């Protein structure tokens, strides 16, 4: 069942979302060559727990062992932080994080370039950000879930990239994953009706190659089937009139860092 949130409840989710946004911004200074994904995880957990009442939403969720999902290069989502995963110049790192505060969840993700990246990789990140923007714009009362997916799919495929189909966005609120599912592909005018008070995690996962994915032996890390690069951006969004409200807003500067020729 889809749970509609009151304005007061949306404000509560926004308070959790503010911490998510602040953390994603702070991580821009931490994602550098030579750092390990475990070090980023330690930084993130301490950052969250310094906020009164806040806790990492993912740590222990379904048995996941860390605060952050850290997914490098061809890894799409759900990468596990490790002391042996050292970031290198030219990598791209997807960080997905949630916060639990006062019985409410918020969830967002960004893709960070590690130092300089080549122009085609930068284009993948830029297009994925644009796909998220277009998907959010479609999240207004009276539209349907298919309008979100259609906007994301059109943006990605027009640019020559593919959209992961096996993983989707979702509702969020009292639980980290609620109804409805929010696919990143779809047909405009189809699917559940968007109503004021719905809160959705909209999260395009866009690949440079095939849309197909597989899961590694750790049973968590999802990778592109052809090992092409993948980008991921996500916001928790309230369906409100006259326009949607982003509850995990962050100044997304990471994609505009240095770019190397190639």
pLDDT tens-digit map of 10-65: 999 999 999 999 999 999 999 999 999 999 999 999 999 999 999 999 999 999 99
* 3-state secondary structure at position 97: strand
Domain annotation covers residue 262: no
Instruction: Show the domain range for 16.
Output: 7-256
Tell me the whole-structure pTM to 2 decimals. 0.94
pLDDT tens-digit map of 123-160: 999 999 999 999 999 999 999 999 999 999 999 999 99
pLDDT score of 112 more than 80: yes
Domain annotation covers residue 43: yes
Q: What is the CA radius of gyration of the chain?
A: 17
- What are the tokens at 109? 């993700």
Number of domains in the chain: 1
How far separated are the first and last CA of the chain, in Å rounded?
49
Mean local confidence (pLDDT), 216-233: 98
Question: Which CATH number characterizes residue 158's domain?
Answer: 3.90.230.10
How far is the C-alpha of 241 from the C-alpha of 34, rounded, in Å? 45
């Amino acid at each position: 069942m889809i749970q509609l949130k009151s304005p007061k409840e949306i404000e509560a989710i926004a308070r959790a979302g503010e911490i998510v946004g602040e953390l994603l911004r702070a991580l821009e200074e931490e994602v550098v060559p030579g750092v390990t994904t475990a070090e980023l995880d330690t930084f993130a957990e301490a950052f969250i727990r310094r906020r009164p009442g806040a806790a990492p939403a993912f740590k222990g969720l379904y048995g996941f062992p860390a605060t952050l999902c850290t997914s490098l290069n061809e890894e799409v989502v759900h990468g596990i932080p490790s002391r042996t995963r050292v970031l290198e110049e030219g990598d791209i790192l997807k960080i997905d994080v949630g916060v639990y505060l006062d019985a409410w969840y918020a969830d967002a993700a960004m893709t960070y370039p590690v130092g300089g990246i080549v122009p085609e990789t930068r284009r993948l990140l830029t297009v994925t950000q644009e796909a998220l923007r277009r998907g959010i714009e479609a999240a207004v009362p009276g539209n349907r879930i298919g309008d979100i997916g259609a906007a994301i799919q059109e943006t990605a495929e027009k640019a020559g990239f593919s959209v992961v189909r096996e993983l989707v966005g979702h509702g969020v609120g009292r639980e980290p994953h609620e109804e409805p599912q929010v696919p990143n592909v779809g047909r405009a005018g189809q699917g559940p009706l968007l109503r004021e008070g719905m809160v959705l995690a909209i999260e395009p996962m866009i690949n440079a190659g095939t849309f197909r994915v597989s899961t590694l032996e750790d049973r968590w890390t999802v990778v592109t089937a052809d090992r092409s690069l993948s980008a991921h951006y996500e916001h928790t969004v309230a369906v409100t009139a006259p326009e949607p409200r982003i509850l995990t807003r962050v100044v997304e500067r990471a994609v505009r860092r240095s770019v190397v020729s190639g």
